[in-house]
Structure 1
């Protein structure tokens, strides 16, 4: 690995998530932040001051790309802006883009982001940074070593909003199965309330069934679980995965917190609790992305992997629209079936 390279780094979007990405960028000596772009100069100046970047500030990201010619760009914008801004970066010759998740509001746009990345040879990753949580790394190792035997089924839990939150749970589950894709999806959504996060409307809850290509069955639930509150029962999985195997099971929250683990043949076994902070996850995410830029390896949070989880989400919505189980790969769909149904008044009471 060439550790002597220094990469010109720029941020597009300088709000809250940019500050969290900056925590990952700042300690990596290979990253020199040269430019910040935001329609709010004040936001960019605040990020500049907090992290001491001494970067040039722009209100137009296209002007920034042309003048600064960054090697690496972090896109920290609302979801509908991901595709057009990534396209601008790829066409400007940016080598690597670290984009906020989720990919895009529609399945067709998600696929287009991946197509552009492949065509332009731009390394595109998404901030599914929880893959770098120490507990998730340990859970993957334990499952791979056969500590709970052959995986049979999973129970998946997420806060409301499949696209924005559910992608973390689905990505966690897929990572536990060595990147196995889904084979079919049957889904339902709760539209008692319509939420809107980062300018993307969503359901207030969802449930369904996922069959993975390796034969593992998964139940999925998002929304409020038994009126759970953070100060109440900390043994409930409100965001994470329960993996059941032939020889035991393990329950892991989003950030790798081990709720419990059981090995049927060894009642004394308990999985080690290894906590890590969001700052640690972001540092791991950025470090790994730069490593892969130098080695050419597929990143742990590549666009191909984000696409795999996104496909399940849009299949969920298509299952609602078609009132049927949806087989994958997902074909004949380019929109967001949920948004289309919402705009058509299908969820009106």
Structure 2
């Protein structure tokens, strides 16, 4: 089948994240933005003007899909809208959807997005763009080459909350292990305060342990929102992964900043700090998604990989609900155990922060 050299691209949701996605779209000559959809006409007009798209503007995304028939759609909406809008895109025959993370607010909805993608053939990816940071790519290569020996354990750090931020850290860790899935999860959450990010309630902190199929043990800590900003001391891994092996360790922050690398047999070895901007990451994300649309290869940020990271998060919540370790794959769960427990008043203290 002949592939078009230019793809008709549309945005559904034109807020802040859409502007970051737009940087990647604008940089790829194969992308022609033909339509923008947002209930706020002003938001769509601002995006149109800033990037010079000259796209048609719609308030109703279904009307936009029917009239414009885009090949590629970027969904930049709040979390609860991901599933219904993706379903609309798949039913409209969209070839590829680049969706904002996290996948959805419940485990059942996450799995439904995967099912729709598989059955419709619509390529579904999520904006776990940090996989395209140079430092993360270097860290993956160094670990694969055995620079720190056989991987034994990981320490994972994330700002709150698990669903919205933790997915980046978990995805980063799994990418360092060639996508090895988790085997079991034991988790705890802090509800001293509860947050509401993008219309999804969440905890203010979490900690626990994960065992992966390859035998690697990981500890995870999601910290207080008041202490999650990076300090001038770049030796502090506030959001990222410390991977420890038989012959050394490497510490990598979210955006690929390699804070420190140690090889026990070669004290002089120091991996270079490779900085990568969000713009560079978004360009890599969009370019790769379009490449995979043409080649048929599984994208680096496919829905299958996002599902594995999401499964760990919902298993954390289910572990809290059961007061026990949870074995994976996660079965018998379709809700968000955290939201269910919160709504039932099962936590000792429930504050709120918007």
Alignment match, 2:323: 323
Using the TM superposition, give the Cα deviation of residue 225 of structure 1 relative to its aligned residue in structure 2, in angstroms.
Answer: 9.1
1:81 matched to 2:84: no
Alignment match, 1:164: 164
1:34 matched to 2:34: yes
Structure 2: runs of 5 or more not aligned:
350-354
SS in 1 for 2:230: coil
Residue deviations 1:223-280, cap 9 Å, x none?
1399465344321111000000000000000000011000000000001111110000
1:176 matched to 2:186: no
Alignment match, 1:24: 24
TM-score scaled by length of structure 1: 0.98
SS in 1 for 2:193: coil
Alignment match, 1:66: 66
The 1-side partners of 2:232 and 2:225 are apart by 12
Change beyond 3 A, Cα 1:226–1:86? closer
CA RMSD in angstroms comes to 1.4
Structure 1: runs of 5 or more not aligned:
none
Please, which moves more after superposition, 188-197 or 226-235?
226-235
The 1-side partners of 2:25 and 2:226 are apart by 39
The 2-side partners of 1:107 and 1:229 are apart by 29
Large movers: runs of 4+ above 2 Å: 1-4, 224-234
SS in 2 for 1:62: helix
Alignment match, 1:211: 211
The 1-side partners of 2:248 and 2:274 are apart by 20
SS in 1 for 2:244: strand
Residue deviations 1:165-191, cap 9 Å, x none?
000000000000000000000000000
Across the two proteins, how many residue pairs are aligned to each other? 349
1:296 matched to 2:296: yes
Residue deviations 1:302-321, cap 9 Å, x none?
00000000000000000000
Alignment match, 2:131: 131
The answer to whether the 8 Å contact 1:3/1:30 transfers is: no
Residue deviations 1:80-134, cap 9 Å, x none?
0000000000000000000000000000000000000000000000000000000
The 2-side partners of 1:8 and 1:46 are apart by 20
